[in-house]
Every structure is written in C-alpha cells, then in structure tokens.
C-alpha cells in the first residue's frame, strides 16, 4: 500500500527530477540583466570556508592553532555526515529532498498551474495550448537538470526570493516558444509563494516515501519475517526483568518486531498528503477580483487533486502542516520500534545467541583483535536517535504558525531530509546487521539447560487444575533462591497427588519444549504482515 493519487487525479507521469540535458538560450525575460551576473555565478556556486590564522598568545596555543586553508565543499568538508561520510548510503534521497528537489517540484507546480489556467473557459487571456506548446512545457519538467537548478539559484542571488526566481526562470525559458511566450505573465497567477511551496513539499514527501522509504521498510519487515520462519522451532530462554523466564522461540521474538513494524508502515502509507492553493490568506481574494465568475475553490481543489494530493480548503497563507506532523510522528514510532529491535539483537549477540559473520580485512577493535563488534545495530540505534530528534521538532513545530503565517516553518522545512536521511541510513545499517547474523543454537540450548526452574510455572498451573493446595507457594519454596536441576524438578513432580496421565505429561516437559504456541506464531507471521500492510512483501 502506497501513497496514491485520488481516483479523479490526472497522471503526472513518473517523477524523474534528475535530468542533465540543459539547452542554453541567450534570450531572457527578467526585470534585470541576466548577463550582468558574474561569470562564476552563471557557472554555479563555489562554496568555500576559510580558516584564518590568529596571533598565538603562547607556544601551547600555537601547537593546536588552525592553518589558513580555503575549504571547498566536498565529502570531507561537509558539515552534515549525510552529505559527507554517509553520502553513498543516502544519495538516492537527493532528487527529492535536496534544494534541487525543492526547485524541481516548484517548477512542476508552476507549469502545471499554467496548463490548468489554459483550460478554464473564462480565462480567455490564456487560450488552450496546442499539443506542441503542451509538449514544450512538459519538457521543461521532464528535462529539468542540475544546471537548470543552478540557473534558478543564480537568479535568486539577485531577487533574494527563491520562489520568484523560479517564476523568472520559467519566463526566460519560455521565450523560445512563441505560443507560451505570449502568456508568461500567467506564471504564478494569483499565487502566494506558499501555494507553490506547500505543493512542492507535499510532492517531495510523497515521492520520497513511495520511492525510497517504503521499499526499504518492506525489506526490513521481510527480513524479520524470514528470520521468524527460519527460526520458528529454535527454543530460547526468555528474560523478563533480565531474569530467566518462560521459554519462547527465537523466531517468535523476531515475529513480534515484524508485526509491530508492519502496523506502523501501514499507518504511514495511509497518511493523506495534503495541499492548498487558495492565495495569500486562503480566501482567493485576488482570484475573485481578477475573474469573479470563476469558481476558484473548485478550480483549486481540481488542481490539487490533479497532482495526486488531497485538498485542504480551510487554510490561512500556509497549509496547516497537520499531515506532516502525523507523518513524522509515525516515522518516529517506526524508528522507536527499530531501536527496540537493535537493542534486543545487541543483547542477544552479547549473550552469544548470535554470531556475526566476519569480512576479511575488517577490524572490530583497534586494540583487541578478537572482537567482532555489533556496529551495524549500534550505528542504526544512534542514527535513529538523531533522526527522531529532528523529526520530533518538525512534528511539534510545523502545525504552529502565528496568525495567518510566520516564516519559521520555511527554514524548518528545509530540514526534512535530515530526519528522513538519518532514518534511511539506520534502516540500511539494520539490514546490513541482520545479514551478518548466524544463530548459535548450541548457546541457546545451553542456557535453557541451566534453567530448569522455568518449569515452575507450568507445574504450579497444573497443580491448580487438580486442586493441590498452595501450588504457587510450594513451587516458590522449591525454586526461589535455590539451584534447580532436572532431577529436583522431576522428583517434585513424582511426589504430586495428581492423575498419572497429567504427571506423565509433566515429566516429559523440558525447558526447550515448553514454548507454547511460539512455533506457530512465528511460522505464520508473514501472512499476518501481508494482511496488515495490504501487499505481499
């Protein structure tokens, strides 16, 4: 189950924002001279950070003082590890959640709005476009490139307004098509910047979840289902409060996490991704003055639906972001469950229940050669914590805006990629860790054989059935604070005044057979997960 377009939505085609075939044009349609930009600006931005020397106050300070270096942005100098150390693991998010992605979706919304205006009969100033003009406009979307995005950024250096820069970019691009050039002033018609931005952000999130996040979530859930089925019959000592407790199976414990994560994944896919398109304060003020006979609320609803989004009719200047808060809260919950899994597996590795496959050349500890550290689960846990910190701020802040709008949401929304990026990084670490696990059945069996006291529960329960007085107290006296062995348990059972058949069944019990319905629960979890999610993983 994915975020999908509404039934009456028109097809946008497949989003593929990373295009590289830029066609240059010497014409421009800007309220300033594009040629006046410095040549370096027209080529793109050059990011540098300068470390300047200072006069040391002592020899000690000079030992650690910085040298004068011009740093250019690279994987080594990036401030965010997502853009540096971990870039190769999260770069598939860049077409959607980067500055490039935001500009791409702004371009898409502006062009789609102009196309929408061309089919409204009352707006005679924008006649229906020919197939050639439509193809030209759609081509600006389909062929949008990194070079195009840099051109928008260069325009923004003059306008100091990012959305207006997109409008001017499109006016400039459309001068090469005579039909579209006649109506370029209808780009951004009656729009406030947030009409464009909120739809761009909605599309960024929808495409990110559908294209990147849901598939990797499904891989985790599938891996856990496989672990559950493969280890359904492997008995394992439970530990409640860290102490030996009634046995389970390793597969059943993995099944719990598969089921938990599948519910959150389902809820995430059912969040309505919402958009608004109602002008400066949500009332279509300018629209109605310009064209009073047009049913603008209906047009806006149609337009938002055509992008595959749900429509929010009650807004001020900005879309209220309530759906974003819900989405990010659910991501936090998915991440919390995964933290729980990471910590449990970390503990099982510590107990020896899992071994980890080694890779030639890898080092576990810089000083202890024998170590194979559970670094994948530790990395996952750490990144999930970072992700949840960012997502928590987004979910708590975004629904709050002073009066009809303030600008705090704008800068915060630029950080969507941080929380989602660290989540993706963590998911991949968890998957990598799962791929290294090898079950150590000998260790699991040894633990069970040292804990015959766990049979106190079924024995006292059967004693209750047959009316033996004070069964709990008798087992407490036998087991609590004492060494319990196979022999002492069996001697106790033989002395019970209960039917011989019941006594015989209890004498057959061992810690590794006392697992209840765990085997069946583990074996069938994939069917349950598929039913919850609504697709076969």
Mention every residue, 6+ apart, whose C-beta is less than 8 A from residue 333.
Answer: 264
Both tokens assigned to 165 = 């820069």
Q: Which residue has the tokens 């022999």?
A: 487
Known active-site residue 7: no
Angstrom distance (rounded) from CA 269 to CA 253: 25
Q: Among candidates 143, 151, 161, which has minimal Cα distance to 45?
A: 151
Considering the candidates 74, 130, 350, 365, report the single residue annotated as catalytic: 365
Break the chain down into helix, strand, coil percent, rounded to 5: 60, 5, 35
For residue 19, what is the DSSP state? B
Q: Among candidates 102, 100, 183, 97, which has minimal Cα distance to 137?
A: 183
Angstrom distance (rounded) from CA 434 to CA 227: 9
Q: What angle do CA 115, 116, 118 make, to 5 degrees?
A: 65
Q: Among candidates 410, 201, 417, 188, which has minimal Cα distance to 309?
A: 201
Considering the candidates 241, 298, 366, 370, report the single residue annotated as catalytic: 241
Angstrom distance (rounded) from CA 353 to CA 420: 32
Cα atoms in the Cβ-side hemisphere of radius 13 Å centred on 385: 8
Q: Among candidates 191, 194, 250, 198, which has minimal Cα distance to 224?
A: 250
CB burial of residue 419 (10 Å; 0-12, 13-18, 19+): buried
Q: Are strands 310-311 and 274-275 parallel, antiparallel or unpaired?
A: parallel
Torsion angle of C-alpha atoms 304, 306, 307, 313, degrees rounded to 10 = 10
Mention every residue, 6+ apart, whose C-beta is less than 8 A from residue 370.
Answer: 364
Known active-site residue 365: yes
Both tokens assigned to 349 = 């590795």
Mention every residue, 6+ apart, whose C-beta is less than 8 A from residue 68.
Answer: 50, 51, 52, 53
355: three-class secondary structure by DSSP: strand
Instruction: Please list the active-site residues.
Output: 241, 365
């Amino acid at each position: 189950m994915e975020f999908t377009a509404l039934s009456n939505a028109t097809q946008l085609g497949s989003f593929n924002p990373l295009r590289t075939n830029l066609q240059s044009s010497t014409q421009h349609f800007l309220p300033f001279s594009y040629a006046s930009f410095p040549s370096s600006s027209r080529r793109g931005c050059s990011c540098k950070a300068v470390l300047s020397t200072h006069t040391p106050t002592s020899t000690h300070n000079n030992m650690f003082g910085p040298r004068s270096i011009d740093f250019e942005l690279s994987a080594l100098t990036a401030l965010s590890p997502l853009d540096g150390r971990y870039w190769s693991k999260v770069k598939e998010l860049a077409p959607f959640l980067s500055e490039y992605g935001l500009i791409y979706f702004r371009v898409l919304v502006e062009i789609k709005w102009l196309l929408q205006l061309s089919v409204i009969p009352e707006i005679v100033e924008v006649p229906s476009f020919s197939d050639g003009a439509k193809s030209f406009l759609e081509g600006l979307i389909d062929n949008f490139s990194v070079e195009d995005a840099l051109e928008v950024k260069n325009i923004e250096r003059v306008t100091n307004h990012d959305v207006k820069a997109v409008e001017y970019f499109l006016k400039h691009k459309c001068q090469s098509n005579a039909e579209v050039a006649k109506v370029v002033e209808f780009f951004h018609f009656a729009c406030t910047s947030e009409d464009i931005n909120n739809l761009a952000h909605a599309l960024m999130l929808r495409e990110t979840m559908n294209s990147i996040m849901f598939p990797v979530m499904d891989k985790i859930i599938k891996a856990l289902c496989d672990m559950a089925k493969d280890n359904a019959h492997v008995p394992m000592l439970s530990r409640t409060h860290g102490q030996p407790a009634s046995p389970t199976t390793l597969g059943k414990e993995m099944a719990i996490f598969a089921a938990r994560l599948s519910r959150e994944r389902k809820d995430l896919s059912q969040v309505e991704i919402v958009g608004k398109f109602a002008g400066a304060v949500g009332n279509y003020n300018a629209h109605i003055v310009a064209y009073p006979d047009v049913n603008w609320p209906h047009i806006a609803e149609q337009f938002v639906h055509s992008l595959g989004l749900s429509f929010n009719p009650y807004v001020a200047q900005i879309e209220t972001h309530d759906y974003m808060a819900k989405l990010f809260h659910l991501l936090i919950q998915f991440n919390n469950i995964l933290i729980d899994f990471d910590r449990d597996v970390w503990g099982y590795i510590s107990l020896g229940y899992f071994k980890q496959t080694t890779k030639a050349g890898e080092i576990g500890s810089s000083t202890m050669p024998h170590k194979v550290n559970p670094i994948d689960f530790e990395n996952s846990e750490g990144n999930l914590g970072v992700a949840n910190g960012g997502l928590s701020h987004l979910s708590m802040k975004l629904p709050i805006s002073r009066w009809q709008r303030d600008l705090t949401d704008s800068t915060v929304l630029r950080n969507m990629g941080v929380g989602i990026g660290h989540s993706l990084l963590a998911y991949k670490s968890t998957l990598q860790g799962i791929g290294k696990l090898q079950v150590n059945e000998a260790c699991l069996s040894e633990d069970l054989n040292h804990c015959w006291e766990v049979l106190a529960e079924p024995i006292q329960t059967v004693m209750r059935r047959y009316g033996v007085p004070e069964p709990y107290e008798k087992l407490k006296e036998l087991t609590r604070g004492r060494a319990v062995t196979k022999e002492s348990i069996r001697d106790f059972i033989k002395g019970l005044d209960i039917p011989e058949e019941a006594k015989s069944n209890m004498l057959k019990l061992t810690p590794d057979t006392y697992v209840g319905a765990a085997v069946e629960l583990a074996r069938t979890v994939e069917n349950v997960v598929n039913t919850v999610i609504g697709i076969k993983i």
